[in-house]
Structure 1
Amino acid sequence: MSDRALILVEGSNTGNGLLYVKAAKNLGLRPITLSADPSQYGYLSSESIDAIRVDTGDVDALVDECSRLGATYEIVGITGFTGLDESVYATVGMLCRHFKLPGPNPATIERCCDKFAQRQLLAEAGVPVPTYRVAANATEVECAAAEIGLPVILKPAVGSGSAGVRLARNVDEVAEHTAFLMGGKHMWRSSPRILVEEFAQGPHYTAQIMGNEVIGIGTVEFGHPPHFVYRQFTFPAMLSDDEHKRIVDVSLSCLRALGLGWGPTNIELRWTKHGPIVIEVNPRLAGAPDPQLVQLAYGVDLITEHIKLAIGDKWNLRRSRSQTAAARILVPDRDGILDWIGGNSRAATVSGVAEVKFYVEPKTPIVRKGDYRDCLGCVTAVSPSLAETEAILQRAADLIDWSIIPFTAIGD
């Protein structure tokens, strides 16, 4: 009998890649990664995972490779990762349709990946969203910002991980960031279009959904503006029953408006003076550390249950725990060469710490981007209460340190 294989399109070093291959193995599956550059994912070699080089932007090439693999293995499911290019998940949907496997609707995913199209569908359905405009050049951006009123958020119409997203508090910052986005410094995955939107102010929440069920709602904290660099995630969010219900109701309205409801979705919201406002709907599983925190807080393994869905097995979304889990993101305060980083072993021994992970090695050049790529590592903790979890995180984080030599000091 041939091995049952799970095809993984692309991967992730700082996200869920390793967790998916481990979960697949635990389910008795053979994970096989298809990637344009498998060497970029270190865990593939360390875990001895089959990896095949193929142009993952070419659906026909992927179909051919999967067909070839199908002669050796029983392909029972296909899923994948997004990184900065969310179209990967739409490609996964196309492959699933072609091979008659469970998967997301590719047209729905593509529609959601365009933030302007997503905004239109949500607004038409009466889902509360920030006031927004789309612009194709500097003049249109300037006019849109004036119409909406400063401050505004400027972001690429297609993208993820807060890449290219910035708060513009005055006309100079509007012009500066527009020039950055349009001047060749930002990597565009499609025709350059900038979404200009009202700065919805208030606590930031994320709703983690599987199918049509909201599994958990967490809080997200960012560093100092004008960028949106993640600093901490906490599950569950401390909400009143009414606040929780309103976020759940709005989240489910998003699914209906966008035609979602198969598999994972994560929705970002802010609680403003008008209540919950939807910032973004991502038709995919959230990147790390959200799935790990959901498992620590609620006992629901989103990655394993997603794989079960992808291979046609019955999933189990029942909560088995009631804890408070949080992750502190380690972020550099300067550019330069990472001379050393340490303290992880000591931090890991703090009672209540679930994981301490570094994403960079010494001697790595550090150039802050103002988005998720600024992450040096992560500390995760869990306990029965928010206060205790916060204290554990702080004790562990205080044991971690690093040194960055500024570029200007090198060679002096």
Structure 2
Amino acid sequence: MSTTDAAGNIALARREKIDGVMTLSSETAVPTVAAVAASLSLPGFSQRTAELATDKLAMKDAFVRHGAPTSPHRAVTGFDDARAFTTENGFPVVLKPAVNSGQRGTSRVDDEASLDAAVADALAHAPDGRALIETFVPGPEINVTAVVENGQATVLSISERVTAAPPHFGIAIAHAAPPHLERTQLAALHEAVQRAAEAIELRDGIIYPQFIVGLAGPSLLEIAARIPGGFMREVALGLSGIDLVDVAIAQALGETAPLSAVPRSSAKAALVVRFLTELDAHRLNQRPDDERLAAARRLSGIGAVHWHLDHEAPIPSLTHSGARFAAVIATATSRAEAETQAENAIDYLLGD
């Protein structure tokens, strides 16, 4: 059954007399989770929260209403909307579909000549014909995972989102922690996380806000009300010792204080997730077999090695996050050491 089929999932939930409902990573399932919870009077976030956490235009408007720091933005349904925004706010700007995920249809635009093509691409990936244009804010991209209990957000992880260089835009090729931020920037980030949770009216749940930390402080890009994908669950687990899946299950079953109820493992001081993409393909002498993958997992500091590319499959073009075909996760006592361990494992995998 499709995760977008709310009526079908509600009927199934009633028949099976389920005790709770949750999603793992899926953005499209968030509204259905809320619909099932509401229909069966189960614990969960509201349908209003689901809308604010999946519709980027509604989300950005909510950020503004609640005083959460974010960049100027406007709805786009055609070329004239985007041109009017750039006339008022200048370049560079970012175009993205109002409803989508995985950086599909998302691009940075630096001048008038590239604007119409970016609008067309964003609208082509917009299932409801709406896109978002916003002012580009320079600075490091920061990912946060947090748990909201009775309206209060507790941060589990803060990591830097290292993205591919132009012409690619917004696609992470690594997550690295701790981020290179000052104490005052971290304090402002914690405050912005709380405001983001309030903006989407979330009382209990998991949030995944993403920021740019610019000269004026943190600027909210967007927020998800779910366990994030892209190995961010593993980032949160490594840095906090708390598994977001345990938290989600506890909250779905009505646990009022999941952070005190779920198991905890030891937290790591530093963690790096390094993705493999077409940018690494020129170094790939031969695709690793099971023996080589197992040996890579035994290297110093390596917590996990994931390889998703079949031996006969072509290297995917890096147009969205789904084109990342492998990942290495390393932990250490410092970010620099974790980065070195991750690169050593990648060198071994690629046959260098």
Q: With the length of structure 1 as denominator, give the TM-score of the two structures.
A: 0.76
CA distance in 2, matches of 1:355, 1:292: 10
On the 8 A contact 1:141/1:194 being kept in 2, the answer is no
CA distance in 2, matches of 1:181, 1:125: 27
Say yes or no: does 1:88 pair with 2:37.
no
Which residue type is aligned with residue 292 of structure 1? E
Say yes or no: does 1:372 pair with 2:321.
yes
Map 1:10-409 to 2 at 5 A.
Answer: 54-70=1-17, 75-81=18-24, 83=26, 86-182=27-123, 186-189=124-127, 191-211=128-148, 212-226=153-167, 227-313=169-255, 314-316=257-259, 320-333=266-279, 341-342=287-288, 343-401=292-350
CA distance in 2, matches of 1:238, 1:319: 25
Deviations 1:294-335 (A, max 9, x none): 212221111112111112245235784242111001111399
Deviations 1:134-158 (A, max 9, x none): 1111222222223221111111111
CA distance in 2, matches of 1:401, 1:319: 32
CA spacing shift, 1:81–1:300, aligned 2, 3 Å: closer
Which structure features the higher share of strand residues?
Answer: 1
On the 8 A contact 2:268/2:333 being kept in 1, the answer is yes
Which residue type is aligned with residue 207 of structure 2? T
SS at match of 2:259: coil
CA distance in 2, matches of 1:97, 1:216: 30
Partner in structure 2 of residue 6 of structure 1: none
SS at match of 1:312: coil
CA distance in 2, matches of 1:288, 1:243: 25
CA distance in 2, matches of 1:369, 1:238: 26
Deviations 1:208-230 (A, max 9, x none): 11112112211111001242211
On the 8 A contact 2:296/2:345 being kept in 1, the answer is yes
**How many residues in Structure 1 have an aligned counterpart in Structure 2?**
338
Q: Percent identity?
A: 23
SS at match of 2:287: strand
Partner in structure 2 of residue 409 of structure 1: none
- Deviation at 1:234? 1.8
CA spacing shift, 1:287–1:96, aligned 2, 3 Å: same
SS at match of 1:394: helix
CA spacing shift, 1:90–1:391, aligned 2, 3 Å: same
On the 8 A contact 1:269/1:279 being kept in 2, the answer is yes
CA spacing shift, 1:328–1:369, aligned 2, 3 Å: closer
CA spacing shift, 1:351–1:320, aligned 2, 3 Å: closer
SS at match of 1:214: strand
On the 8 A contact 1:228/1:370 being kept in 2, the answer is no
On the 8 A contact 1:155/1:165 being kept in 2, the answer is yes
Unaligned runs of 5+ in 1: 1-53, 403-412
CA distance in 2, matches of 1:209, 1:117: 21
CA distance in 2, matches of 1:280, 1:260: 14
Partner in structure 2 of residue 48 of structure 1: none
CA distance in 2, matches of 1:253, 1:370: 32
Deviations 1:10-65 (A, max 9, x none): xxxxxxxxxxxxxxxxxxxxxxxxxxxxxxxxxxxxxxxxxxxx243332222222
- Deviation at 1:201? 0.5
- Deviation at 1:259? 0.7
Which residue type is aligned with residue 257 of structure 1? A
On the 8 A contact 2:277/2:324 being kept in 1, the answer is yes
Residues 86-95 or 309-318, more deviating: 309-318
CA spacing shift, 1:159–1:240, aligned 2, 3 Å: same
- Deviation at 1:197? 0.9
Which residue type is aligned with residue 296 of structure 2? A
Unaligned runs of 5+ in 2: none
On the 8 A contact 1:346/1:399 being kept in 2, the answer is no
